Amino acid sequence: MPNKIVNRVANSQLKTINLEDFYPQGNRTLIDIKNWLFQELILKETEFREHLKNHNWEQYKNNYVALTCSCDAIIPSWAFMLITTYLSPFTKKIVVGDLKALETSIYFEIIANFNIEEFLNKPVIIKGCANKPIPETAYIQLIEKLQPIAKSIMFGEACSTVPLYKKIK
């Protein structure tokens, strides 16, 4: 058959990584503690502790939680630590910051634990189009992890990639 169509991409050593495939399930929740402060400005320890004691922490079961204070108050470090003692039996992860900081922290762990053995001396494509909130930092961390071992790294889709790195022999 002289006109046989050959899928060269499928037959190549090319490896594709889609960070969206590693997106962990679970609600992302932002807890703003401003309403737990006196006049949204001052943390009164006794009242703060009472609020924490009476709060329904089970509602955060299997959630990823970001703790923040959206008002211009000075919050002592122990306040977020104390909240964490209530949250940690129920949640998957807790950070201080916004939801973007939460996703970055989640992906930091994913990339740190990512097994790269199968990419040794292989051309790699990091898929870029995602419907989930993949932080830009995750792509950077992935490049840092892959570059010492990959033959080449590209970004995009197999049919249209942007070359990022090629190992010099």
pLDDT of residue 1: 56
pLDDT of residue 5: 60
Q: In this predicted model, what pLDDT tens digit does every residue of 117-168 receive, in sequence order?
A: 999 999 999 998 778 889 999 999 999 999 999 999 999 987 788 999 999 8
Residue 111's Cβ-side half-sphere holds a number of Cα atoms within 13 Å equal to 23
**Model confidence at 4: pLDDT above 80:** no
pLDDT of residue 160: 82
Q: How is residue 123 written in tokens? A: 């051309």
Handedness of CA 93, 138, 127, 167 (dihedral sign): negative
pLDDT of residue 130: 79
Other beta carbons less than 10 A from residue 67's beta carbon: 23
Helix (H) or strand (E) holding 131: none
- pTM of the predicted structure, to 2 decimals: 0.84
102-122 burial: b if 16+ Cβ within 10 Å, else e? bbbbbbeebbeebebeebeeb
70 in Cβ contact with 42 (< 8 Å): no
Spatial strand order in the sheet of 160-166: 15-17, 123-126, 152-157, 160-166
- Show Cβ contacts of residue 147 under 8 Å, excluding neighbours closer than 6 positions: 153, 165
Q: Compute the average pLDDT of residues 92-121.
A: 96
Q: In this predicted model, what pLDDT tens digit does every residue of 19-59 receive, in sequence order?
A: 999 999 999 999 999 999 999 899 999 999 999 999 999 99
